[in-house]
Amino acid sequence: MARVLFVTSEAYPLLKTGGLADVSYSLPMALHELGQEVRVLMPAYRAALSKASELRCAALFEVHGQNVAVLEGRLAPNGPLLWLLQHPGYDRPGNPYMGPNAQPWPDNAERFALLCRAAVELAQDRAGLNWRADIVHGNDWQSGLVPALLSLEAQRPATVFTVHNLAYQGLYPYEIFQRLGLPHQLWSMHGVEFHGQMSFMKGGLAYADRITTVSPSYAQEIQTHEFGCGLEGLLRQRHEDLSGIVNGIDAEQWNPAIDLHLPAPFDADHLEGKAANKKALQLRLGLTPDANVPLFGFIGRLVQQKGIDLLLKAMPQLLDSPVQLAFLGSGEPLYEQSLLYWSRRFPRRVGVVLGFNEALSHQIEAGVDVFFMPSRFEPCGLNQMYSQRYGTLPIVRAVGGLVDTVVDVTPETLAAGKASGFVFNKASAKSLLKTVKRALALYQDKAAWSAVQRTGMRRDFSWQNSADRYLALYSQLRPEAVAVKSAPEELPAPVVEPPVKKRAVRRRKVEEA
Ligand code: ADP
């Protein structure tokens, strides 16, 4: 049994801004079920405190001259222990990363350096909790300094660092590095220094014993100039320690047969219920309730990464076809305003809800026929998996986790019973529209459509496989600590092939298809 300290800046259901929160709930839960002793550490944001129950103060200690507390509870009633790190810097309303002006909180470097330092104290049993970690698993830049700081300890746990999105790096001027009082040994081009700035992300990438990303394709992509955000050289150097493990989904939260957010349940053998969800969604969004019109959906952050600009560019032609559209998201004001424009122009055909709404996100997945994910890059992506589970065919771009989890509809994949959605290659409105045409053509063939729906709904996206793979990785690092209950057949393969070549082959395949 390994003692795992899982460090994260957000976790469902306490606080969620994106996929990291889902992973920070599901993976620790799955590892806990596999018999590991997991502790999930995250900041005690005000919103998280209001959602957590039965917390007790388990420790009071000092971190680099600041007093902090650990409030202990459970991630879920039968789940692993949750450690909320309490400090005045986390006690503010709203988004954990940004203030109401949509700008990063000015003290983010201090807030997340404190999280990292506290993680080190907890992992090293210096917080009075009588617990020492075998493995510390950090996630994204907010916990990037954990492997860096631990590397300076004479005796330390093994470290795993998972990249959920390389585009957010936690970059700060050198003065901040000094102000944080970080050990000077870390300041080098082989350490946290990145073109004269300090990079939290590099702290994870340079010092962790193993690096993972949330899909095998993304692990390849980030070694290239196109997706590497300037860190591709370092990642290529570390390719033997780098692997991709695709995220799973929470098969209970996202199960259309028991989803309490839905007006009508359904499953692969009883698809009829989906029609009731479609109608309810059309009514909710003010669209014409028509069972036959293909309804397309989009949920996500309204930023360029998600390809929302491609969708907006395609809008005039898209609306030339008899389709309806449902959007849920929030983000850059220009995209928000553009969506509102289209919904005002076509109120019975375009429904837009701005903001974050968990229940509506389930209702959209259940109610639409097709789901758009035309991302420019996508480390893993979750909605394309939710879509398949909900009998909704995703249209995705051939990047990252999207290409790893959606099987393009072709005559061959259809015949083999493997097709589950539509994959396109070029990040352009034209390519997207061509793919919409393919989807509309298939929609006319009701038998083929429902066969693809059923294929998607029966796919196994559960966390079991992925959690086994993380556990195998832990056991490579600390074989004596990890008693693997059911030994996975193979260890996660490090990425060793030249990334660019493989990418090109994969793209060609998609294009040919
Ligand atoms: P990312 O982490 O890059 O934002 P992912 O697809 O990995 O993207 O995960 C996003 C998660 O957040 C999904 O569970 C998605 O349904 C959810 N989500 C995103 N925007 C919204 C929103 N406006 N309302 C409800 N859920 C949302």
- Helix crossing, 446-458 with 429-444: angle to 10°? 110
Q: What is the pLDDT of residue 477?
A: 96
| Beta bridge partner(s), residue 137 | 6, 160
Helix (H, G, I), strand (E, B) or coil at 272: coil
Please state, in angstroms and rounded to a whole number, the distance separating the CA atoms of residues 336 and 325. 15
- Looking at the chain, the number of H-run helices and the number of E-run strands are 19, 18
Nearest of 321, 353, 322 to residue 339 by alpha carbon = 353
Q: What spacing in Å lies between the alpha carbon of 18 and ligand 1's midpoint? A: 5
| Mean pLDDT value of segment 254-273 | 97
| Mean pLDDT value of segment 360-380 | 98
Helix (H, G, I), strand (E, B) or coil at 324: strand
Which phi and psi angles does 474 have, rounded to 5°? -60, -40
Q: What is the mean pLDDT of the chain?
A: 93
Q: What is the four-CA torsion angle of 255, 256, 257, 263, rounded to 10 degrees?
A: 140
Helix (H, G, I), strand (E, B) or coil at 484: coil
pLDDT over 90 at 488, yes or no? no
| Mean pLDDT value of segment 30-34 | 96
| Mean pLDDT value of segment 233-240 | 98
Please state, in angstroms and rounded to a whole number, the distance separating the CA atoms of residues 474 and 27. 13
pLDDT over 90 at 157, yes or no? yes
Q: With beta carbons less than 8 A apart as the criterion, state whether 86 and 71 touch.
A: yes
* Ligand 1 atom with least separation from CA of 328: 23
Q: What is the 3-state secondary structure (H, E, C) of 391-456?
A: CCEEEEECCHHHHHHCCECCHHHHHCCCCCEEEECCCCHHHHHHHHHHHHHHHHCHHHHHHHHHHH
* Ligand 1 atom with least separation from CA of 22: 14
Q: With beta carbons less than 8 A apart as the criterion, state whether 244 and 213 touch.
A: yes
Which protein residue has the closest C-alpha to ligand 1 atom 17?
A: 18
Ligand 1 pocket: which of 26, 141, 301 to mutate (most atoms <8 Å of CB)? Answer: 301
* Ligand 1 atom with least separation from CA of 365: 16
Band of the pLDDT at 486, cuts 50, 70, 90? very low
Residues 6+ apart with CB under 8 A from 326: 281, 285, 287, 295, 296, 297, 298, 351, 364, 367, 368
Ligand 1 pocket: which of 8, 22, 399 to mutate (most atoms <8 Å of CB)? Answer: 22
Q: With beta carbons less than 8 A apart as the criterion, state whether 288 and 324 touch.
A: yes
Instruction: Supply the pTM of this predicted model.
Output: 0.90
* Radius of gyration of the chain, Cα coordinates, nearest whole angstrom: 23
User: What percent of the chain stands above pLDDT 90?
Assistant: 90
Q: What is the four-CA torsion angle of 338, 104, 212, 464, rounded to 10 degrees?
A: -70
| DSSP secondary structure letter of residue 226 | T
Nearest of 159, 163, 203, 205 to residue 180 by alpha carbon = 203
Q: What is the pLDDT of residue 94?
A: 85
Please state, in angstroms and rounded to a whole number, the distance separating the CA atoms of residues 10 and 94. 13
Please state, in angstroms and rounded to a whole number, the distance separating the CA atoms of residues 299 and 326. 8
Which protein residue has the closest C-alpha to ligand 1 atom 4?
A: 18
| Mean pLDDT value of segment 114-140 | 98
| Beta bridge partner(s), residue 396 | 373, 423
Nearest of 409, 364, 401, 385 to residue 458 by alpha carbon = 385
User: What percent of the chain stands above pLDDT 70?
Assistant: 94
| Mean pLDDT value of segment 145-154 | 98
| Mean pLDDT value of segment 399-411 | 97
* Ligand 1 atom with least separation from CA of 383: 6
Which phi and psi angles does 467 have, rounded to 5°? -65, -40
Q: What is the pLDDT of residue 458?
A: 97
| Mean pLDDT value of segment 122-136 | 98
Nearest of 50, 156, 467 to residue 475 by alpha carbon = 467
The per-residue DSSP string of 168-200 comes to ---EE-HHHHHHTT--GGG-STTTTEETTEEEH
Nearest of 96, 72, 75, 68 to residue 83 by alpha carbon = 72
| Mean pLDDT value of segment 484-506 | 43
Which residue do the tokens 């998972």 mark? 162
Instruction: Say if residue 13 is preceded by a cis peptide, omega within 30 of 0.
Output: yes
Q: What spacing in Å lies between the alpha carbon of 19 and ligand 1's midpoint? A: 6
- The architecture of the domain spanning 3-248+465-482 is 3-Layer(aba) Sandwich (3.40)
Which protein residue has the closest C-alpha to ligand 1 atom 6?
A: 381
| Beta bridge partner(s), residue 43 | 85
Band of the pLDDT at 483, cuts 50, 70, 90? low
Q: Which residues line ligand 1 (CB under 6 A)?
A: 18-19, 22, 299-301, 328-330, 356-358, 361, 380-383
- The architecture of the domain spanning 272-457 is 3-Layer(aba) Sandwich (3.40)
Q: What spacing in Å lies between the alpha carbon of 311 and ligand 1's midpoint? A: 17
Helix (H, G, I), strand (E, B) or coil at 115: helix
Residues of the chain with CATH 3.40.50.2000: 3-248+465-482, 272-457
Q: What is the largest CA-CA distance in the chain?
A: 67
Q: What spacing in Å lies between the alpha carbon of 39 and ligand 1's midpoint? A: 24
Q: What is the pLDDT of residue 101?
A: 85
pLDDT tens-place string over residues 293-340:
999 999 999 999 999 999 999 999 999 999 999 999 999 999 999 999
| Mean pLDDT value of segment 412-441 | 98
Which residue do the tokens 């309730």 mark? 289
